[in-house]
Amino acid sequence: MQLRFEHFAATSMLGAKDSPPRNNGKLYFDRWWERQAFGIAIALSKQGHYEWEDFRQNLIATIGEWESAHDIEDMSRNYYEQFLLALERLAIDTGTLSRDEIDRRTSDTFQSDTCKVHQAALE
């Protein structure tokens, strides 16, 4: 169930360069970590760590950097890899997390039992 802020955050990106992938009109996540990253980005903004528009502009810049460094026909871009990079940069820039904290939490997450269950399901 989406609350008002979550609905605002998701719909503010519709049709824009930073619009997340959708399937039949619903947000689409290929991997479990993509859903988590999206939820974390919304939660941190909702808690006041940054404005949602600041995140969006950071994401647009990150996507632009990727596009500038790659051929227009390069289909290897993963939206949520750019999303995660934008989230990490903003978390560091706002002092929400340090690079070391992000690295530690990422390592802990990928070592967790939940992650192992998700990875096994994909094999």
d(CA 112, CA 61) in angstroms, rounded, equals: 32
**55: its two tokens:** 């995140």
In this prediction, residue 10 carries a pLDDT of 66
What confidence tier does 72 reach under pLDDT thresholds 50, 70, 90? confident
pTM recorded for the entire structure:
0.75
Q: Per CATH, is 4-122 categorized as 1.10.472?
A: yes
Helix H or strand E segment including 52: helix 52-69
Cα 13 from chain centroid (whole Å): 13
Residue 3 has what pLDDT? Answer: 57
